[in-house]
A and B are shown apart, each in its own frame.
Chain A
Amino acid sequence: MTDMLTYPDVVQLAVPFFIAAILIELLWIVIKKRGGRYETRDAVTSLIMGAGNVVSGILLGFIAWGFFMVLWGITPLDLGTSWWVVALCFVLDDLRYYWVHRFGHRIRWVWASHVNHHSSQHYNLTTALRQTWTGTFTFMMIIRAPLILLGFHPAMVLFCGGLNLIYQFWIHTEAIGRMPRWFEAVMNTPSHHRVHHGRNPRYLDANYAGVFIIWDKMFGTFVPEDDKEKVDFGLVHNLGTFNPLRVAFHEWIGIFKDVTQPGISWKDRFSYAFAPPGWSHDGSRQTSEMIKERHNRANKSASGS
């Protein structure tokens, strides 16, 4: 069994490319006067969140790595390192990404980590780098366990995860309208991912894909971008701060306050942590499902009248 296998840290190696691409997008917007928007404080917050994500990976990465190596020690399977194994690992890890991402929007505990990625009201390449600092505490590394138990080496799985993240960088832009039809059919694209970042009711909780949009089509979460309804980027309730600490931790604080409030049952406390974001014991808040339902009802009655 291969214990010592190393792959390059592709995300770190891609940092110069990220910076160059942001500069190109910025210049494109300035010269063409279209293709997106930039705002200084928003962009700086996103970039600091990205830097913090790298630091958090360096400081806490050993937890996931240790867990994966324990699994690797348990499994009798070893698929080796041939190219087709790497390719298969990439596809299966993308399926893993789809589910982690879906959980990230449907379970408040995971949303607390992921919410910061959606907290910008802009959608440009800096938004791609607005990444979590607290991903380790969601314990979503468990979703990678089957891959390792099936015989994919942990280093390979992380390498594929890094490639996945790099792929997703370029789709965070308004500078690209639509890709060729065949590409839009199979791959995640700027158009599909704009929908994912939308706060419009019809766009909520859609297009969770990382690289291949086919997962959304398979599992019923695909929503195409509608040219008649421009995407409004951000959160249902947008943040009133650019402070990176508040961006990183606000939902965790929210969970803590909700869970520890007096006068509610233990079931309510559990639900405040693990039910979909927006759940409340007294119905005073709205989940994305409720928002969508209300929107659909209003649209139906408007078109019926």
Chain B
Amino acid sequence: MPITVLAALVAFGIAGIAVLTVLFGFNKRRSFIDADDAGRAWLREFPDLEPRDITLSQDGCHALVQTDQGAGIVWSMGADSAARLLTGARVKQSTEGLDIRLRDYTAPRIRAALTPDQQTIWLNRIKDTP
């Protein structure tokens, strides 16, 4: 197969499939129903680290948890979820929420939508994590 035909096929194939998934509504981000839902998502990644004091973000896409090893965050990855401890995290405030940078190549940046009040609570809790 000529390389130009292959390249066109691949490019249009990827674009076409992406457009179709959007049209079918498969681009919707998961939102945690409640704290229990976020807690289950946390335990899926850290089964031995019980989450406490789970606080959901405004849009329900992020949740801050407290554990014996400090604060952690669980967030929606598309339709699914990921979670990390916030050890060594750098946090910046913005008008929309918190911009969290982790020293983790597999999860470098998390942006949580939070009200100003929530931001204060989250910042205080993250501050205590080593």
| Cβ contacts under 8 Å, B22 to chain A | 40
Contact across chains for A240 and B75 when beta carbons are under 8 A apart: yes
Contact across chains for A41 and B27 when beta carbons are under 8 A apart: yes
Contact across chains for B77 and A51 when beta carbons are under 8 A apart: no
Q: Which listed residue, A13, A19, A41, touches B17 by the CB 8 Å rule?
A: A19
17 A–B contacts from the bound complex (CB under 8 Å): A18-B13, A19-B13, A19-B16, A22-B13, A23-B17, A30-B24, A38-B21, A39-B27, A40-B22, A42-B80, A43-B21, A51-B10, A240-B84, A240-B106, A242-B77, A246-B105, A250-B105
In the complex, what distance in Å separates the CA atom of A130 from the CA atom of B81? 19
**With an 8 A cutoff between CB atoms, is B9 at the interface?**
yes
Contact across chains for A121 and B80 when beta carbons are under 8 A apart: yes
**With an 8 A cutoff between CB atoms, is A267 at the interface?**
no
Shortest B15–chain A CB gap in Å is 9
In the complex, what distance in Å separates the CA atom of A91 from the CA atom of B37? 47
**With an 8 A cutoff between CB atoms, is A234 at the interface?**
yes
- With CB as the reference atom, state the residue of chain B lying closest to A238: B82
In the complex, what distance in Å separates the CA atom of A38 from the CA atom of B75? 19
Contact across chains for A238 and B45 when beta carbons are under 8 A apart: yes
In the complex, what distance in Å separates the CA atom of A20 from the CA atom of B18? 14
Contact across chains for B17 and A26 when beta carbons are under 8 A apart: yes
- With CB as the reference atom, state the residue of chain B lying closest to A22: B17
Interface residues of B (CB under 8 A from A): 1, 3, 6, 9-10, 13-14, 16-18, 20-22, 24, 26-27, 44-45, 75, 77-82, 84, 102, 104-108, 110
Shortest A45–chain B CB gap in Å is 9
Of all A-B residue pairs in the complex, the 9 with the closest CB atoms, nearest first, are A240-B107, A40-B27, A121-B80, A240-B82, A39-B78, A19-B13, A40-B21, A39-B79, A47-B14
In the complex, what distance in Å separates the CA atom of A109 from the CA atom of B130? 31
In the complex, what distance in Å separates the CA atom of A125 from the CA atom of B6? 19
| Cβ contacts under 8 Å, B106 to chain A | 237, 239-241, 246, 250
User: How many A residues have CB within 8 A of the partner chain?
Assistant: 40
Q: Which listed residue, A13, A40, A48, A232, touches B78 by the CB 8 Å rule?
A: A40
| Cβ contacts under 8 Å, B9 to chain A | 15-16, 19
In the complex, what distance in Å separates the CA atom of A121 from the CA atom of B107? 15
| A residues 32-62 in Cβ contact with B at 8 Å | 37-44, 47-48, 50-51, 54, 58
Provide the A121-160 mask, 1 if CB < 8 A to any CB of B, else 0.
1100010000000000000000000000000000000000
Contact across chains for B44 and A237 when beta carbons are under 8 A apart: no
In the complex, what distance in Å separates the CA atom of A51 from the CA atom of B3? 12
| Cβ contacts under 8 Å, A296 to chain B | none
**With an 8 A cutoff between CB atoms, is A12 at the interface?**
yes
**With an 8 A cutoff between CB atoms, is A80 at the interface?**
no
Contact across chains for A47 and B17 when beta carbons are under 8 A apart: yes
**With an 8 A cutoff between CB atoms, is A289 at the interface?**
no
Known A51-B14, A240-B82: A38·B24 in contact at CB below 8 Å:
yes
Contact across chains for A54 and B6 when beta carbons are under 8 A apart: yes
- With CB as the reference atom, state the residue of chain A lying closest to B78: A39
Contact across chains for B105 and A39 when beta carbons are under 8 A apart: no
Contact across chains for A239 and B82 when beta carbons are under 8 A apart: yes
**With an 8 A cutoff between CB atoms, is A186 at the interface?**
no
Contact across chains for A12 and B6 when beta carbons are under 8 A apart: yes
Known A15-B6, A37-B79, A121-B80: A237·B45 in contact at CB below 8 Å:
yes
Q: Which listed residue, B1, B77, B102, touches A9 by the CB 8 Å rule?
A: B1
Q: Which listed residue, A15, A22, A241, A254, touches B107 by the CB 8 Å rule?
A: A241
Q: Which listed residue, B1, B3, B20, B78, touches A242 by the CB 8 Å rule?
A: B78
Contact across chains for B14 and A238 when beta carbons are under 8 A apart: no
